[in-house]
Amino acid sequence: MCVTPAVIKDTGYGEGIKTHRYLDRWEDCPGLNAVIRAVTKSAMNGGLEVVGIEDGYLGLIENRFRPLSNTDVSDILTRGGTILGACNKADPAAYAVRQGDKWVQKDVRDQVIEHCRQGELDALVVIGGDGTMSGAADLIARGLKIVGVPKTIDNDLYGTEITFGHNTAVSTAAEALDRIHTTASSHHRVMVVELMGRYAGWIALNAGIASGADVILIPEIPFDINVVAEKCTQRSRFGKRFTIIAVAEGAAPKGGEQFVDSIDETSPDPIRLGGVGKFVADKVGEISGIESRAIVLGHIQRGGTPTPSDRLLATRFGYHAYELLEAGRFNRLAVIQNGHTGSIEISQVAGKIRTVPPDDRMIRAAKAIGTSFGDC
């Protein structure tokens, strides 16, 4: 979870409103700088002071704040990542510290509250996904005032139709799938591309449809590997001598478990998914006899310049966060619902994720044009 600017404003009631915000769930994301820019410039143009917290919750835990100026947030709209840094191992409720030869988790939320008090911070603006908002809910329960901004490439935050960063990730993934087509067709192979998304299939679904993938495997629809292999064989029979498979990292076979690449005991979110792409490629090759290869796109999906769509969305969210601060409407998350900007209580979001409905219209559309989801 990451933290960005704190905004301070004279309310005329003898007390300032000081606002911070956290970037990201655990890692960076295209569009973070655009949100930092939108909140900071709106705040400063409204007469507020802005303070940044470095490296997310880690900076809040370690009391690392720095003032932000107009110069700091100029020319960052198109820049990927975050000017303040990110950290994926700093949950105040379960902060990993080394004790001898073991890692233990400590609750340092009181320390965070004390640093906010020392810094005279009256409110935080948090930017992130379900993990960030769960952490925010904890801090709200301890008396902090918070405004949330939804961010995750996975698009899995409950309560909003879209999160910034997702469009860029889908564009990157779709471009990679497009490029794989030429290699697949030249060598007559099955090419399996494993995409991010954690426990939701939005990236694989949208990138797969956009690139014309023949098979899309997502966590919400357990797949039968024999059905997947038969799809590849069937294409070969009808003269299509290659198959493109887009698979979400959280996809799992029917009756099986999700594939875990590793466990990071120093992280509050220790499970690292991965390996399903290789499983699919190996099994399809074994069953069909068609040469198959697996590619893991990985963190490329997080990087690079945010798309114009994400820059617009990030600016829209950042400005609405400022509006909520101005109105004193704390402990709410800026969201997009039915195409309109609004807000909901952060408590409604904490601990929940937004997955792809099995009857989603895009799934129906993909199936209608012949795309397989490995289920039938």
265 and 310 inside one domain: no
Give the CATH number, domain containing residue 287: 3.40.50.460
Angle (CA) 126-207-226 rounded to 5° is 120
**154, 156, 214, 310: which one is catalytic?**
154
Give the CATH number, domain containing residue 316: 3.40.50.450
| 32-45 and 308-326 helices, crossing angle to 10° | 40
47 and 142 inside one domain: yes
Residue pair 123/325 in contact (Cβ under 8 Å)? The answer is yes
- Which residue range is the domain that position 157 belongs to? 4-164+306-348
Residues with Cβ within 8 Å of 13's Cβ and at least 6 positions away in sequence, in order, are none
Active site includes 154? yes
223 and 317 inside one domain: no
Measured over all CA atoms, what is the biggest interatomic distance in the chain, rounded to whole angstroms? 77
148 and 182 inside one domain: no
Domains contained in the chain, number: 2
155 and 191 inside one domain: no
158 and 23 inside one domain: yes
pLDDT, tens digit, for every residue of 36-70? 999 999 988 888 888 888 887 888 899 998 898 88
Average of pLDDT values for 243-255? 96
Specify the amino acid at residue 142.
R
242 and 286 inside one domain: yes
Statement: residue 368 has pLDDT above 70 = yes
13 and 136 inside one domain: yes
76 and 186 inside one domain: no
pLDDT, tens digit, for every residue of 170-199? 999 999 999 998 887 776 789 999 999 999
Q: Note the Cα 191 to chain centre separation in Å.
A: 25
Mean residue pLDDT of the chain comes to: 86
Q: Is 368 among the domain residues?
A: no
248 and 221 inside one domain: yes
Q: Would you call 258 helix, strand, or coil by DSSP?
A: coil
Which ranges of the chain would DSSP assign to H, the alpha helix?
32-45, 57-62, 109-118, 130-141, 166-187, 202-211, 225-237, 276-288, 308-326, 361-368
Residues with Cβ within 8 Å of 38's Cβ and at least 6 positions away in sequence, in order, are 314, 315, 316, 317, 318, 319, 321, 322
351-373 burial, b at 16+ Cβ within 10 Å, e below that, comes to eebbbbeeebeebeebeeeebbb
